[in-house]
Structure 1
Amino acid sequence: MEMKRIITTASGFDYSLHYKIWGSENLQTIVCLAGLTGNSGDFKYVGEYLAERGYRVAALDLAGRGESDKFNNYNDYNFEQYIHDITLFLKDIGCDEPQSCDWLGVSLGGLLGFRLAGTQNSPVRRLMLSDIGPEVPQFDLDFIAKVIKMDVVYDAPEQAIPFMKLALGTPYSRGQLNDEQWLYFANVYLKQRADGKYIRNYDPDIVHVFEKEPLGANGLWEYWERITQPTLSLRGGLSTLFPVKIAEQMKARKPNDKYTITTLDDSGHVPSLYREDQVEVLYRWLMEN
């Protein structure tokens, strides 16, 4: 099921947010939020796998990504606006009560998960983070900003696949995928322009606020120390964005069995979550917690 919701931004205009749902309404809900340039399509394999095992999975396109509208004013691409939009989204899917959903956040989606889980009467019951911590090395932030600004145009999604595969074995590897998954990734990553060409499936103006406040205005360690929910961190074994030392500091500040770190060796930033062996890690943790 796919739905859109009309909301009003801080700039005062109506726009639509798109989200996808897998599974039945009366099931336990897992809310998924993608990384900075990702969208709800990133969670197709997670959604299908977990829906078959008794969960409802809901994945949101933040404004300027996927099928959601973009902002007229690029200054609206900020953490306060994202939280505002997520709050309305959670209400729309019936997950606005304390501990009413589980949260799976990839990169930016994890940063927003920190903020939600670390608040009083949080709607988050269990927190799953994919390759993100309360600190990110400046080198990685600078690299991401450069990549966002790159202007890429393809005649067909298939043309992007060889370039995507160049990341294999690097700190930004999604991990090994089969041919079907690579093609799916290309179709999620790109959208068709009016002239028939294919471009990236996000508004390039998201870079402006990212360059000024990539992690938001407030320090995230404070949120981390307030989080009491069971938490899973997936870490790409090749990732430099979520280095081992940050994961170890997170564990040191949570000296109990409520924090689990799992490393996916052949991935960097970020694991695709397309492969069954990766999604099984999430499912097993949910079963145990």
Structure 2
Amino acid sequence: MSTTPLSAASLDSKARAAPAQRYVQCASPTGLHRMAYTEWGDPGNPRVLVCVHGLTRTGRDFDRVAAALSDTYRVVCPDVVGRGLSDWLSDPNRYVVAQYVADMVTLIARLNVETVDWFGTSMGGLIGMTLAGLPGSPVRKLLVNDIGPHIEPDALVRIGGYVGKRAEFATVQEGVAHAAALATSFGPLTEEEWTEINAPLLRQREDGAWEFRYDPAIAVPFNAVTPDAAAAGEAALWQLFAAIEGPVLVVRGERSDLLSRETVSLMVQRGRSVKSAEIAGVGHAPAFLNVEQIALARQFFVGGALAS
């Protein structure tokens, strides 16, 4: 299997390939909902990489990663329910990791494969850690991008300051700029890169104004978490993380306010087969748009284990 390093030219060439847009029907205690996902590469390839985004983002954050790894994988990038092109839930209290894990199990069943590899950014990493730690998990390899069982309280305050807040924009460019201002810690991205990952977050209303696609009600369970519930959830997630059998790579942004170096160290100690990497010059969370960051993911998923 080739592990030739990516060049900027080859990455740009791959990035021009369009994915297929698909949907899968999932269930919650209050009814059915559709989850959207984009699919890259050979649909018959049994080697599948699932890429799952952060709290208010979409699966289109992974377009470059998916294009670059579609030579090896069938890459599937869902819009978690309540985001992107997926349905909104009638009961906002179901916007929780347990529901998201159930939806991903349904997605994997639709893909008709026994195992998957997983790339999860922030919330997508929480979903991945939870699924990977369950008995009989289909997750074979797990890349966790700037998230861990312990989340720094200041980061939760920061996120709580914007999640669920309605905003409208006169133009898509204004919305892209607003989303970029909320995510400056992703890294020093170009205007074109911000447009690439932020335009899919927006939709135009009938009155011509633009707004975010995600359901503002995703903030309901986020804001309802008590200190006791947070502590219990963290303890449960540490237990699940320690049970993960396959290789895990924890990636941290050097300036992350959400994932501390101390938590990364504990993840390496408590996990069974955990390595870590830190990306200089960025915070929460590395965007994995540039060649070097994508090469890090490729090395883990395709090129074998990383050096300690």
- TM-score normalised over the length of structure 2: 0.85
Amino acid at match of 1:41: R
Q: For 2:161, what is the secondary structure of its paired residue?
A: helix
CA distance in 2, matches of 1:78, 1:56: 27
Q: Do the aligned residues in 2 keep the contact of 1:107 with 1:130 (CA within 8 Å)?
A: yes
Alpha-carbon contact 1:190-1:201 (below 8 Å) kept:
yes
- The match for 1:113 among 117, 121, 128 is 128
Aligned partners of 1:94, 1:76: CA distance in 2, in Å?
26
> 1:156–1:197: 8 Å Cα contact kept in structure 2?
yes
Partner of 1:227 in structure 2?
244
Q: What is the deviation of 1:165?
A: 4.9
Partners of 1:167 and 1:201 in 2: CA distance = 15
Matched, 1:15 2:15: no
Query: Counterpart of 1:76?
Result: 94
Contact 1:174 1:272 in 2 (8 A): yes
Alignment of 1:192 onto 2:201:
no
| Superposition TM-score, scaled by structure 1 size | 0.90
1:138 is aligned to 2:153:
yes
Aligned residue number for residue 211 of structure 1: 223
State how far apart, in whole Å, the 1-side matches of 2:260 and 2:300 are. Answer: 22
Structure 1 gaps, min length 5: none
1:30 matched to 2:53? The reply is no
Q: Deviations over 1:31-65 (max 9, x none)?
A: 111111111111111111111x3211101111110
The CA distance in 2 between the partners of 1:69 and 1:229, in whole Å, is 32
Q: Deviations over 1:213-247 (max 9, x none)?
A: 49684621101111121011111111010011100
> Sequence identity, in percent?
28
Equivalent residue of 1:263, what SS?
Answer: strand
Aligned partner of 1:61 in structure 2 is: 79
2:141 pairs with 118, 121, 126, which one? 126
CA contact (8 A) 1:36 1:107 kept: yes
Q: 1:249 to 1:9 in 2, by over 3 A?
A: same
Which secondary structure state, in structure 2, belongs to the residue aligned with residue 122 of structure 1? coil
Contact 2:176–2:199 under 8 Å retained in 1: no
CA RMSD of aligned residues (A): 1.9
Q: 1:266 to 1:164 in 2, by over 3 A?
A: farther
Q: Distance in 2 between matches of 1:175 and 1:167?
A: 12
Q: 2:108 aligns with which of 90, 94, 97?
A: 90
